[in-house]
Amino acid sequence: MSSIGAAVIGILMMGGIACLVWYVWNKNRLLDAKLANGDLELLNSTSYKVTEVIRAPAGSRVEKVAFQPMNIDMSGYVRQTLPDGRVALVPVAMTQEVRSVHSTMHTNQQPPNL
């Protein structure tokens, strides 16, 4: 008798999981169809939170680019994290000292010796 009860409970749980999977799949399918048709009701929908609207050709990708300050150590290398997670030291040109040069338009400049 207990195996029949376990089977009934198991069938009910499998049915509940199947309904949940179907609900999520159908909701995603309907959202994809609305996005493909450019449905404007999505902007005012209570089911979806729209944070940004971008007009771009079909197949375009929008990537958020965040500013990351570069830490330059005294050895002339910048530590960069690669997309696969590895860390690379990238050489950079160090800034040169700026020296003041007398302008040729300066009024106090001495004429050249001939």
Determine the average pLDDT of the residues in 85-98: 71
- Greater confidence (109 vs 15) lies with 15
Give the separation between CA 106 and CA 102, rounded to whole angstroms: 7
List of residues 6+ apart from 87 with CB closer than 8 A = 79, 80, 81
Reported confidence tier of residue 50, pLDDT bands at 50, 70, 90: confident
Residue pair 80/87 in contact by the 8 Å Cβ criterion: yes
The pLDDT of residue 100: 59
Coil, helix or strand at residue 2: helix
- Report residue 96 as tokens: 């040169």
Task: Please determine, for residue 29, whether its predicted confidence score (pLDDT) is greater than 60.
Answer: yes
More confident residue, 93 or 85: 85
The helix/strand/coil state of 13 is helix
**3 state SS of 80:** strand
Q: Say yes or no to pLDDT of 87 above 70.
A: yes
Q: Would you say 53 and 43 are in contact if contact means Cβ atoms under 8 Å apart? A: yes
pLDDT(64) > 80: no
Q: What are phi and psi of 59, to 5 degrees?
A: 90, 0
Query: What residue spans define the domains of the chain?
Result: 2-50+66-91
Q: What value does the mean pLDDT take over residues 21-35?
A: 92
Contacts of 81 (CB under 8 A, 6+ apart): 87, 88
